[in-house]
A and B are shown apart, each in its own frame.
Chain A
């Protein structure tokens, strides 16, 4: 469905190019849910923006992103327009800023089906709102976004994304702004969707719990580079990269013996790491060698670390 090969994203900042994403490769099959995990500044959202042609003005994407065989990165804008919102849909972290505050929710949804007669499009919009479990959908469709709660707005966004029956759904931290109870509802909804309609989902998140609940596979990003790519169960059971291990150990748990202090990863992420040679995690890594600081480890068989594969 989607195959990303050596994706790079650079931004022109004060006259020079700064790399934010460096050589990200991943592929997603039909009906599969891939989690793209990373902390702030890891470049995870920029990957999605690059795919959708939504990079900021000073940004430039390189490499390849093949969607059903066509390269999204080199496609003419008009051709991309034919895919976006139809074959590929996207949902954002903050549904309030992604919805038009001046337009009734039903009209915003019906707009997606502009090729249908208006009454029919409206009917489909209401049916989709029901599908994402908006109570009293027919009446709700006549309301404006501010009359919805945060969880309901996110469900409206998902309904809008689903209306065109996309083959690929890109989700940028779709539950981060929501309460845990609502988050659980939305994750269930996305899971059902992938299973029922065979839509492939690429979900960006910083929360390993979200990955555990929803994803089949995981790509772990750090400093703009892929550290590890694995099946969800394998990653949680036996993370191989020192960063994946650290991240998993630092995630608070409900179902584990309680230690007096949490496990931490010392240090902080290094800004602009993707522009520098060497492993971006080297300054915080317990296994670091001189070579790690100088030579960027390649992703081989799902892991970018020489020290653990040696």
Chain B
């Protein structure tokens, strides 16, 4: 298993006041999954659901508050510094805002070769330039782009550079945090296909974080739906898209506007009502109860655990 989470929880220290000590605010609760080479885990959910925090914890950029992350069976928190540095090279990330993710004062060449300076300190200049040109070509940009600065790139080109930078250290896992959300539709499809091609050629395992279910459908083998830091459903992608089980998954699915006016007409006036509870005051019961039209009194008091239903795990007993 190239990447695994076991009952992983992640917390941020939350300042409480001048005198009292910061209290941890847990924003990701009890996440478990196993990801193989060449496969994609899609993580979906609304803003504030903890999906990006989870992504950072999987890279060991944030510590686990409880549970553990395993990189090819080993816990990065217990690695010796040198082993950790080598292991980090194999785990990269791509960000949502492709231009902000690049240093405006660095040429593409410099941005691309920075990871090599860290992960392969002995490498010569000529070698690292060749590697940069090679990964750039893999992402569909010619070597001419090596001399450019981020402001000279379009969003789509900058995201290709972001992907090339993630590839240069020859990773096994890439965390893609909303990699196409900021791109135009015609460019989004190109970048999705690029990620699929790279995955096929290089056997990459991907964690694809997105709020766009239609894009996740194209990318993922397994889907994990998060709400307020908790997994409410985890299922093989095909089964999930045929029939999402949790009421929250169903609501998300209904909310994605389909480019089809006839189908959309029947959905008008049926938007999910109610407000998302605050992460600072999570409800004692089900995280979705305040917006669920099928909620029962016990849903507001007792939190349902993830339990198997068919091929899926669903945190809703009804």
Interface pair B262/A233, CB less than 8 Å apart:
yes
Is B10 interfacial (CB 8 A cutoff)? no
Please tell me if the beta carbons of A192 and B269 are within 8 angstroms of each other in the complex: yes
> Which residues 244-258 of B have a CB within 8 angstroms of A?
251-258
A204 to chain B, nearest CB (A): 14
Stretch at the interface among A58-66, A72-80, A86-94, A251-259: A251-259
User: Nearest Cβ in chain B — how far from A137, in angstroms?
Assistant: 13
Cα–Cα, bound, A288→B264 (Å): 34
Contact across chains for A255 and B184 when beta carbons are under 8 A apart: no
Binds A, one of B21-29, B104-112, B154-162, B171-179: B154-162
Q: Mark A31-70, 1 if CB is under 8 A from B, else 0.
A: 0000000011000000000000000000000000000000
Question: Would B189 and A263 count as touching, CB distance under 8 A?
Answer: yes
Tell yes or no: B36 within 8 A of A by CB. Answer: no
B276 cross-chain contacts in A, Cβ below 8 A: 149
Q: Is B87 close to A, CB under 8 A?
A: no
Q: Which A residues touch B254, using CB under 8 A?
A: 184
Q: B-side binding surface: helix, strand, loop or mixed?
A: helix
Closest residue of B by beta carbon distance from A185: B271
B263-280 vs A, Cβ < 8 Å mask (1 yes, 0 no): 110011111110110000
Tell me the complex Cα distance, A22–B303, Å. 57
| Interface-lining segment among A12-20, A207-215, A292-300 | A207-215
Residue of B nearest to A231 (CB): B261
- In the docked arrangement, what's the CA distance between A181 and B258, Å? 13
Docked-complex contact B47 and A179, CB < 8 angstroms: yes
Q: Which residues from B are CB-within-8-Å of A185?
A: 271-273
Please, how many angstroms separate the alpha-carbon atoms of A264 and B191 in the complex? 9
Neighbour of A264 across the interface among B46, B193, B211, CB < 8 A: B193
Q: Are A39 and B184 in contact (CB under 8 A)?
A: yes
Q: Which of A152, A233, A262, A266 has the most CB of B within 10 A?
A: A262
B259 touches A236 (CB 8 A): yes
Tell me the complex Cα distance, A39–B184, Å. 6
Cα A206 to Cα B299 in complex, Å, equals 38
Q: Which of B157, B188, B217, B272 lies in contact with A181, CB distance below 8 A?
A: B272
Q: Is the CB of A262 within 8 A of B271?
A: no
B215 on interface, CB distance cutoff 8 Å: yes
B258 touches A209 (CB 8 A): yes
Q: Which of B186, B189, B275 is within 8 Å of A135, CB to CB?
A: B275
Is B19 at the interface (CB under 8 A from chain A)?
no
Give B141-200 interface residues, CB cut-off 8 Å to A.
Answer: 154-157, 184-190, 192-193, 196
A265–B257 touching, CB < 8 Å: no
Q: Is A248 an interface residue (CB 8 A)?
A: yes
Query: Interface residues of A toward B: which range?
Result: 35 or more
Say whether A254 contacts B218, CB under 8 Å: no
B260 with A206: CB separation less than 8 A: no
Chain A residue nearest in CB terms to B157: A268
Beta-carbon contact of B192 and A262 below 8 Å: yes
A250 touches B185 (CB 8 A): yes
Chain B residues in 8 Å Cβ range of A233: 261-262
Number of A-B residue pairs, CB cutoff 8 Å, is 137
Closest residue on chain B to residue A243 by CB atoms: B186
Interface centre among B155, B193, B217, B258 (most CB of A within 10 A): B258
Check: A191 CB closer than 8 A to any chain B CB. yes
Known A39-B186, A188-B268; contact A261-B259, beta-carbon cutoff 8 A: no
Q: Are B46 and A255 in contact (CB under 8 A)?
A: no
B255 in contact with A184 (CB, 8 Å)? yes
Query: Which of chain B's residues have a CB closer than 8 A to the CB of A207?
Result: 185, 257
Contact among A133, A152, A184, A250 with B257 in the assembled complex (CB-CB below 8 Å):
A184
Which of B192, B241, B255 has the most chain A CB atoms inside 10 A of its CB? B255
Complexed CA–CA distance, A112 and B155 (Å): 38
Q: Specify which chain A residues have a CB less than 8 angstroms from the CB of B155 in the assembled complex.
A: 40
Cross-chain contact B192 with A209 (CB below 8 angstroms): no
Name the CB-closest residue of B to A38: B184
Cβ of B214 within 8 Å of any chain A Cβ, yes or no, is yes
Interface contact A187-B271, CB-CB below 8 Å: yes
Q: Tell me if B116 is interfacial: C-beta within 8 Å of chain A.
A: no
Instruction: Check if B259 sits within 8 Å of A251, measured CB to CB.
Output: yes
Of all chain A residues, the one with the shortest Cβ separation from B192 is: A262
Cβ-defined contact, A150 with B271, below 8 A: no
Are B252's CB and A247's CB within 8 A?
A: no
Q: Would you list the 9 A-B pairs with minimal beta carbon distance, nearest first?
A: A209-B257, A252-B214, A184-B271, A39-B184, A262-B189, A265-B186, A179-B46, A208-B259, A180-B255
**Residues on A close to B: CB < 8 A?**
39-40, 133, 135, 149-150, 152, 179-185, 187-188, 191-192, 206-213, 232-233, 236, 246-248, 250-255, 258, 260-266, 268-269
Q: List 28 A-B contacts (CB under 8 A).
A: A39-B184, A149-B276, A180-B252, A180-B257, A181-B272, A184-B270, A188-B268, A206-B184, A206-B185, A209-B256, A209-B259, A209-B264, A210-B257, A211-B259, A212-B258, A213-B261, A233-B261, A236-B259, A246-B186, A248-B259, A252-B212, A253-B259, A254-B213, A254-B241, A262-B192, A262-B193, A264-B193, A265-B189
- Having A213-B268, A250-B189, A252-B215, one finds 14 other A-B pairs with CB under 8 Å, namely A40-B155, A181-B252, A184-B267, A185-B272, A191-B268, A209-B264, A213-B261, A236-B259, A252-B188, A253-B259, A261-B193, A264-B193, A265-B186, A269-B154
